[in-house]
Amino acid sequence: MPTWNSRGLRGSTLEEFINRTNERYRENHLALIQKVPTPITPIKMDKESRHITLAYFEQKSTVDYIGVVQGIPVCFDAKECQVNTFPLQNIHPHQVEFMRDFEQQGGIAFFLIFYPHLDRFYYLPFRQLAQFWERMQQGGRKSFRMDELDETFFFTGHSGLLVPYLDALQLDLNLRD
């Protein structure tokens, strides 16, 4: 079973950027999005600082964030990709199943992928992930390349927001109509 310190703090900066963006969205009454805590069981603690130094995950997490945007239920997961090819092994089958179920209930599911080497974000709608996932399940590529992605869903920070994903969400909603 994976342990907390085996993954280090990978993605913590991205999550902090998203958390700050979510705070601004809440302050402006645009969205109410919460970080879903991952339940852990501590194994070792530093006695002086009282910080957890080793723990294991109690259960599989589904998504990183869940909430509502102007009455629309949304859930999403945040990932970082250091190269131009995203390995699908970074997404787990239980996440895909949860997101599929979420969308069947009328919600919007997506991934936010940060490419730090390009300082760009990508809003990956679940329907696009499902195509890549199905291709992998059928014996095809176990990854997707940046050049396979829809250029209109790439974005960068603006207007004082670190991860302004609501614009991409609106584009996704427009394409669903």
Residues shown for the chain: 177
Q: What is the pLDDT along the chain (177 residues), one digit of tens a residue?
A: 344 343 433 446 889 999 999 999 999 999 999 998 766 666 677 777 777 676 555 556 689 999 999 999 999 999 999 999 999 999 999 999 999 999 999 999 999 999 999 999 999 999 999 999 999 999 999 999 999 999 999 999 888 888 999 999 999 999 987
pLDDT value, residue 36 = 87
pLDDT value, residue 39 = 63
Q: What angle do CA 92, 94, 100 make, to 5 degrees?
A: 110
3-state secondary structure of 58: coil
pLDDT value, residue 56 = 57
* Per-residue DSSP letter, 13: H
Cβ atoms of 60 and 92 within 8 Å: the answer is yes
pLDDT value, residue 6 = 37
The matching CATH number, chosen from 3.40.1350.10, 1.10.287.3510, 3.30.1600.10, 3.40.220.10, for 4-176 is: 3.40.1350.10
Q: Which residues are annotated as a binding site for Mg(2+)?
A: 62, 64, 77, 95
Domain ranges of the chain: 4-176
Cα distances (Å, whole numbers) of residue 67 to 3, 51, 59, 73, 118: 27, 29, 21, 6, 28
Q: Which residues are annotated as a binding site?
A: 62, 64, 77, 95
**Tokens at residue 54, please?**
């080793």
Q: In angstroms, rounded to a whole number, what is the distance separating the alpha carbons of residues 131 and 104? A: 16
